[in-house]
Amino acid sequence: MITLSHLEKYIMKHKIKKINVGIIGVGRISLHHINCIISEKSFFLSAICDLDNSKLNKFVKKYKTKGYLNYREMLSKHKEINLVIIATPSGMHYEHAKEIILRYKKNLIIEKPLTLKVSQAKELFRLSNKNKLKIFPVFQNRYNLAVRRVKKSITSGEIGKIRIVNVRVRWCRQQKYYDMSPWRGTYSHDGGALTNQGIHHIDLLRYLFGEVDYVNCQMKTIGSKIQVEDTIVATFGFKNGGVGTLEITTAARPIDYEASISLLGSKGMVQIGGIAVNKLEIFTPKQNDIKKFSESFKRNYYGFGHKYLYKSISDYFFKKKEFLISYNDCIKTLQLLHCFYNSAEQNKKIYFKNSRDSKKLGVKNEKISKLYRFREK
């Protein structure tokens, strides 16, 4: 059952037809958010904010919107904003989100990962509930057509019992990628290949195949000179009895090769591939569904998941439909992420029930935080 937030009550009382959106951080992913806002009639882009004036002005000119170097000024001048997108470095999500909830009482869309620590995510959800606000985590790949078809085949029993699952992400991130910004490649503000690139696949493990029981993981840094891991190899077991392997790396050269998830079930096999789990490559229950449930992402690295995500957010506010990703769901995905880190840090099998915040991921680094902290005027 949905408990009405302040925004929902306001929409009902004043018959509001659009949600006014503000964006904090205008990097590459923000461009995708803006395009979704423009294409979805339920949203209006009120203003954007970034510390980089040159980058900010380009977005302001292109999208004919208001731009600010400080989100406090943006939210003070645009009180109509009722939904804020946080697309700042991962290690700043918690700090920015907490202030916006407590000081400005705004609903939030927070890019992945929601926070770098499970404890931080729990606090944000607690504060949002207390203030009758909503946080929308971004796990857009759940909305991909191929993912939805495989989900249906599992829940209906079409593919049978889960036996073996395999995850492979073989992407290329050269040293220059990590050298672009001080936060990249750090435990304090980024996380490695598992957190930055692999978080969506960690989420899909749970979403598609059920809860993981244990993890046995090794992490290495072999392709770049960075603090964090760029290669992860792991085995794991599900509570339903299935087993699996995981290989995620950004040390592939010279290009991105694949991002696939496959399942051997008791009644057949399925495999989702493509650059962003967008193609149904193998589907033995119905071969004709392979083409029907595959999407081409030409010139669109992130696919169409964000578009469906925004439609789901619109339906939540205007049609009172449940949002696909619950708070508990998001917490469990973050706990599973840390379970992999726990295993690598302790060099042993870790059971999900014993997972704790990683000792490395999300460690404080004030020197970097100061670079991305919006100062009071």
CATH number (domain holding residue 186): 3.30.360.10
Q: Of the spans 17-21, 128-132, 303-307, which averages the highest pLDDT?
A: 128-132
Q: Which domain holds residue 85?
A: 6-139
**358: number of Cβ within 10 Å:** 22
pLDDT confidence band for 368 (50 / 70 / 90)? very high
Residue 255: DSSP 8-state: S
Q: Residue 275: its pLDDT value, please?
A: 82
For the chain, what is the domain count?
2
**Are 241 and 117 in the same domain?**
no
The DSSP letter of residue 3 is: P
| Angle value at C-alpha 264, between 304 and 206, nearest 5 degrees | 50
Confidence bin at 1 (pLDDT 50/70/90): very low
CA distance 141 to 155: 18
Structure tokens at 235: 């085995």
Domain membership flag for residue 376 = no
Domain boundary among 139, 165, 181: 139
- What's the angle, vertex CA 217, arms to CA 161 and CA 257, rounded to 5? 75
d(CA 46, CA 51) in angstroms, rounded, equals 18
105: left (phi over 0), alpha (psi -120 to 50) or beta: left
Same domain? For 55 and 159 the reply is no
Residue 330 DSSP SS3:
helix
C-alpha to C-alpha distances, 134 to 3, 109, 168, 346, nearest whole angstrom: 10, 9, 33, 36
**pLDDT tens digits for range 147-201:** 999 999 999 999 999 999 999 999 999 999 999 999 999 999 999 999 999 999 9
What's the pLDDT at 11?
A: 64
Nearest Cα residue to 187 out of 251, 113, 96: 113
Assess whether pLDDT exceeds 60 at residue 14. Answer: no
What is the arithmetic mean of pLDDT over 78-90? 97
Question: In terms of domains, do 245 and 347 share one?
Answer: yes
Tell me which residue of 39, 87, 47 sits closest to 65, measured CA to CA.
47
Query: What average pLDDT does the segment 67-89 reach?
Result: 97
DSSP 44-87: EEEEEE-S-HHHHHHHHHHHT-EEES-HHHHHHH-TT--EEEE-
Quickly tell me which residue has 């203003």 as its tokens. Answer: 47
Q: Give the residue-averaged pLDDT of 38-50.
A: 96
C-alpha to C-alpha distance for 251 and 220, rounded to whole angstroms: 10
pLDDT in tens, 340-362: 999 999 999 999 999 999 999 99
pLDDT for res 297: 72
In this structure, the answer to whether residues 128 and 181 fall within a common structural domain is no
What's the farthest any 2 CA atoms get from each other in the chain? 63
pLDDT at 3 over 70: no
| Position 73 in a domain | yes
Separation of alpha carbons 282 and 153, rounded Å: 13
pLDDT at 203: 98
305 within 8 A of 318, measured Cβ to Cβ: no
Same domain (yes/no): 348, 248: yes
Q: Please provide the average confidence, as pLDDT, over all residues in the chain.
A: 95
Domain end marker among 94, 123, 139? 139
Report the range of poorest mean pLDDT among 16-30, 104-118, 204-218, 357-371. 16-30
Q: Which of 139, 163, 184 is the last residue of a domain?
A: 139
Beta bridge partners of 262: 166, 271
pLDDT at 289: 98
Q: Above 90 in pLDDT, residue 299?
A: no
Instruction: Examine the domain organization and report whether 65 and 101 are in the same domain.
Output: yes
Q: Sign of dihedral through CA atoms 339, 364, 48, 108?
A: positive
Q: What percent of the chain has pLDDT over 90?
A: 90
Same domain, 168 and 66: no
1 part of a folded domain? no
pLDDT for residue 180:
96
Whether 21 and 164 share a structural domain: no
pLDDT band at 374; cut points 50, 70, 90: confident
Whole-model pTM: value is 0.94
Angle at CA 252, nearest 5°, toward 175 and 269? 145
Same domain, 101 and 190: no
Q: Which has the minimum average pLDDT: 76-90, 261-275, 292-306?
A: 292-306
User: Looking at the structure, do residues 46 and 193 belong to the same domain, yes or no?
Assistant: no
8 Å CB contact between 39 and 47: no
CATH of the domain at 91: 3.40.50.720
* C-alpha dihedral sign at 58, 61, 65, 70: positive
